[in-house]
């Protein structure tokens, strides 16, 4: 007993003395350690941004400091961790000035292969980022060099810098998302724009007349002549010929080509229509590309009736296991959300962002309509022509355009009718929308083409003229439950629509149903707008009507 007490006492005493000593030394060293830590952080931050006071910002998506000198904002420092060869990734610190130009890059930590991946810490590699900023590609072979034997690690650092620039650009409001530039919306005039090429800025003058791009002239540049020459020869001509800005780049001169394109975009940027809204897009197939985790991602997206119905990745270089799954997940999210504003797939942020960028690029261009890929059915479309609205109907069967019929137009018949006939003949023979306009009636021909594009860009619709006479019943889900209606067709004309039963709120639904029936009978068109205030009931009613008539056609 006595021995046990002694043990407890001695051990307790030792522990107490030890604790006291530790507390004492801690009280002495803790403030020094704290101060040292703060100084070191300041020094590290100052190594990437010329400022003497840094302030950590709260609630930012990435760790971000504001850097001040004499109370004046000098720029920002972003800390990012990017995935790389080693699972832990690379921890980077990027300093940017208030314009979003890189001032310094520091590798905070990494666990890359010694002797290979750790070359990312070398001075020459990190210094080449200085001066790059918003509008620069920050990509291997474009404006920075990679490292032999450490491609993946070097690419990861490039991604980190690129994302830091983008983050600061968005954070500080420096990036205006370049929206869709619709040439037709640009007032006549000559506009000047600037963007960085491979070596230096490229300045262009862009002239627009009658909503058409008539010339692109490079007025200032400093590129290597042997590389840039073909770009200046080909790209402006291609832009004028194709009436679009995103023309194919000249291979081997990516930097200059992209610079020229960006300069033209910059010139017309003030007329951009802002964010891409999928429901505003014309139907068709869009193709675009962007940089993914490692190299180009090429995508095709199909829009039908303002709905994104399919996204296909045609080409990519990203890690097969990671990139592939990420693309699938992203596409699912995009199709569900019907907007480009979806979250990136975690663990594959670069692939995800690359896909989104490629889609944005796609939607900025014009859609392509591939008749061979169209669903069978009858398509209706309308477009502005010489004298007014032109309406037409096109029938597709077995991937072939089998007929085009102009339903209504207000153009001068003596010019327009022969032109329409000729155009339709050409279209049916060519099985593509890429046919020559009829000279002497170009505007009418263009109107026909536009209407056909609109038609084929929408979903196939029911052709009322094929519905035999009779009374048909249709059902569909509506606001409160199932809705059933009867429609009577006589001499190819809808004469009466009666709701047999429904479970919607009568006060709202009944007037809406009456209004809809009246409109449909008047216009002989079953694709009419919903009645505001009773949207869901209207949709149910319209679906039931379509279902009834569709049965009539197939029976």
Partner 1 sequence: MTDKFVVGPSPHVLGPKTVKSVMWEVVIALAPVSIAGILLFGLDALLVLVTATVTAMILEALVLHRNLKPASILGDGSAAVSGLILGLILPPSTPLWMVVIAAAVGILLGKHAFGGLGNNIFNPALVARAFVFMSWPVAMTTWHGPLSLSDWTTRVSVDVASSASPLGGAQHGLMEMFLGQTAGSIGETSALAILLGAIFLIVRGHIDWRAPLGYVGSAAVVAAIYSFLGGDFALTTIAWQLMAGGLLFAAVFMITDMVTSPVTKTGRLLFGIGCGLITMVIRLYLSAPEGVTYGILFMNAMVPLIDRYTVPKVFGEVKSR
Partner 2 sequence: MFGKELIRGIYTENPVFRLLFGLCPALAVTTAADTGLGMGLATTTVLLGSNLVVSLLKNVIPPAVRIPSFIVIIATFVTLVGMTMEAFFYPMFEALGIFIPLIVVNCLILGRAEAFASKNTLGRSLVDAIVMGIGFTISLGLLGAVREILGSGSILGFQLVPGTVDMALVFALPPGAFISLGLMLAALNYIAIRRKEA
Q: Is the dihedral of CA 325, 326, 332, 335 positive or negative?
A: negative
Distances (CA, A) of 449 to 280, 374, 454, 505, 512: 19, 17, 9, 44, 36
Mark the segment that binds partner 2 (CB under 8 A) among 14-22, 70-78, 94-102, 239-247: 14-22
249: helix, strand or coil: coil
Question: Between 86 and 307, whose beta carbon lies closer to partner 1?
Answer: 86
Residue 427 CA to residue 453 CA, distance in Å, equals: 12
Q: Any idea of the CA torsion for 478, 479, 480, 483, to the nearest 10 degrees?
A: -20
Which one of partner 2, partner 1, none is in contact with 10 (Cβ closer than 5 to 8 A by kind)? partner 2
Q: Which does 336 bind (CB under 5 to 8 A by kind): partner 2, partner 1, none?
A: none
Does 11 sit near partner 2 (CB under 8 A)?
A: yes
Cβ proximity to partner 1, 88 vs 429, nearer residue = 88
> Among partner 1, partner 2, none, what binds residue 32 when CB lies within 5 to 8 Å by partner kind?
partner 2
Task: Identify the H or E element spanning 286.
Answer: strand 284-291
Smallest separation, CB 65 to partner 2 (Å): 22
50, 68, 73, 116: which one contacts partner 1 (CB under 8 A)? 116
Q: Using the rule CB under 8 A, give the single segment among 318-326, 358-366, 481-489, 498-506 that binds partner 1.
A: 318-326
- How many Å apart are CA 22 and CA 26, to the nearest integer? 6
| Region binding partner 2 by CB under 8 A among candidate stretches 5-13, 250-258, 352-360, 433-441 | 5-13
Establish if 29 lies at the interface with partner 2 (CB under 8 A). yes
CB of 126 to partner 2, least distance (A): 18
In 319-457, alpha helices (H):
320-337, 349-364, 413-430, 442-456
Residue 292 in the binding site for partner 1 (CB under 8 A)? no
Nearest distance, CB of residue 348 and partner 1, angstroms: 13
Other residues' Cβ atoms within 10 Å of the Cβ of residue 193: 20
Nearer to partner 2 (CB atom), residue 93 or residue 435? 93
Interface residue with partner 2 among 32, 87, 123, 251 (CB under 8 A) is 32
How far is residue 549's CA from residue 464's CA, in Å, rounded to a whole number? 8
The values of phi and psi at residue 155, to 5°, are: -60, -35
Binder among 54, 76, 85, 106 for partner 1 (CB under 8 A): 85
> Which of partner 2, partner 1, none does residue 22 bind to, with CB < 5 to 8 Å depending on kind?
partner 2
Residue 124 in contact with partner 1, rule: CB under 8 A: no
Among 36, 57, 412, 495, binds partner 2 (CB under 8 A): 36
**In the range 96-155, which residues lie near partner 2 by CB under 8 A?**
114-115
Q: What is the DSSP string of 298-337?
A: EEEEEEETTEEEEEEEEE--S-HHHHHHHHHHHHHHHHHH
By CB under 8 A, tell whether 42 contacts partner 1.
no
Q: Is 146 in the site for partner 1 (CB under 8 A)?
A: no
What does the alpha-carbon distance between residue 356 and residue 22 come to, in Å, rounded to a whole number? 56
* CB closer to partner 1, 122 vs 477: 122
Q: How far is the CB of 125 from partner 2 (least distance, A)?
A: 16
Work out whether 40 is an interface residue with partner 2 (CB under 8 A): yes
- CA–CA gap between residue 180 and residue 399 (Å, rounded): 31
Nearest CA-CA partner of 157 in 170, 140, 133: 140
Q: Does 117 bind partner 1 (CB under 8 A)?
A: yes
Note whether 353 and 334 are within 8 A (CB): no
Q: What are phi and psi of 191, to 5 degrees?
A: -120, 145
Give me the 96-115 binding string for partner 1, x by CB under 8 A, dash otherwise.
Answer: ----------------xxxx
Residue 504: phi and psi, rounded to 5, are -80, 165
User: How far apart are alpha carbons 337 and 427 in whole angstroms?
Assistant: 36
Smaller CB distance to partner 1: residue 115 or 189?
115
- Residue ranges that bind partner 1, judged by CB under 8 A: 85-86, 112-117, 148-149, 151, 320-321, 324-325, 328
- Residue ranges that bind partner 2, judged by CB under 8 A: 3, 6-7, 10-11, 14-15, 18, 21-22, 25-26, 28-30, 32-33, 36, 40, 114-115
């Amino acid at each position: 007993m006595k021995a046990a007490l002694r043990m407890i006492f001695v051990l307790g005493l030792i522990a107490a003395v030890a604790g006291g000593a530790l507390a004492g030394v801690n009280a002495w060293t803790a403030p020094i350690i704290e101060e040292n830590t703060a100084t070191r952080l300041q020094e590290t931050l100052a190594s990437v941004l010329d400022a003497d006071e840094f302030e950590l910002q709260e609630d930012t998506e990435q760790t971000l400091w504001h850097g001040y000198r004499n109370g004046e904002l000098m720029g920002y420092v972003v800390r990012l961790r990017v995935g790389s060869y080693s699972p832990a990734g690379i921890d980077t610190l990027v300093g940017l000035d208030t314009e979003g130009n890189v001032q310094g890059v520091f590798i905070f930590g990494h666990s890359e292969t010694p002797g290979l991946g750790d070359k990312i810490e070398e001075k020459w590699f990190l210094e080449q980022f200085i001066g790059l900023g918003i509008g620069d590609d920050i990509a291997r072979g474009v404006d920075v060099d990679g490292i032999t034997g450490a491609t993946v690690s070097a690419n990861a650092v490039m991604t980190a810098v690129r994302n830091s620039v983008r983050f600061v650009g968005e954070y500080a409001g420096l990036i205006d998302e370049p929206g869709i530039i619709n040439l037709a919306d640009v007032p006549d005039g000559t506009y000047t724009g600037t963007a960085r090429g491979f070596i230096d800025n490229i300045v262009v003058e862009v002239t627009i007349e009658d909503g058409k791009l008539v010339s692109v002239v490079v007025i200032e540049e400093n590129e290597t002549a042997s590389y840039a020459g073909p770009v200046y020869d080909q790209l402006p001509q291609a832009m004028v010929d194709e009436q679009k800005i995103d023309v194919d780049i000249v291979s081997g001169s990516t930097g200059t080509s992209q610079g020229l394109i960006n300069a033209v975009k910059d010139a017309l940027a003030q007329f951009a229509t802002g964010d891409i809204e999928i429901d505003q897009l014309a139907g068709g197939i869009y193709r675009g590309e962007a940089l993914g985790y490692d190299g180009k991602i090429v995508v095709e997206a199909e829009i039908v009736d303002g709905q994104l119905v399919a996204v296909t990745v045609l080409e990519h270089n990203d890690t097969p296991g990671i990139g592939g799954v990420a693309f699938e997940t992203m596409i699912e999210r995009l199709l569900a959300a019907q907007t480009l504003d979806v979250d990136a797939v975690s663990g594959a942020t670069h692939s995800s962002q690359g896909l989104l960028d490629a889609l944005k690029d796609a939607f900025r261009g014009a859609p392509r309509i591939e008749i061979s890929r169209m669903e069978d059915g009858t398509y209706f479309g309308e477009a502005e022509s010489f004298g007014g609205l032109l309406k037409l109907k096109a029938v597709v069967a077995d991937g072939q355009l089998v007929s085009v019929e102009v339903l209504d137009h207000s153009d001068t018949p003596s010019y327009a009718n022969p032109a329409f006939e000729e155009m339709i003949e050409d279209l049916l023979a060519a099985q593509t929308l890429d046919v020559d306009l009829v000279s002497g009636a170009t505007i009418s021909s263009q109107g026909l083409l536009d209407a056909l594009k609109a038609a084929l860009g929408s979903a196939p619709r029911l052709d009322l003229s094929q519905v035999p006479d009779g009374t048909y019943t249709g059902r569909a889900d509506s606001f409160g439950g199932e809705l059933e209606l009867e429609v009577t067709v006589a001499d190819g004309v809808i004469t009466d629509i009666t709701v047999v039963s429904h479970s919607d709120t009568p006060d709202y639904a009944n007037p809406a149903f009456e209004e809809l029936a009246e409109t449909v009978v008047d216009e002989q068109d079953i694709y009419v707008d919903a009645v505001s205030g009773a949207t869901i009931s209207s949709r149910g009613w319209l679906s039931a009507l379509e279902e009834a008539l569709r049965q009539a056609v197939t029976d």
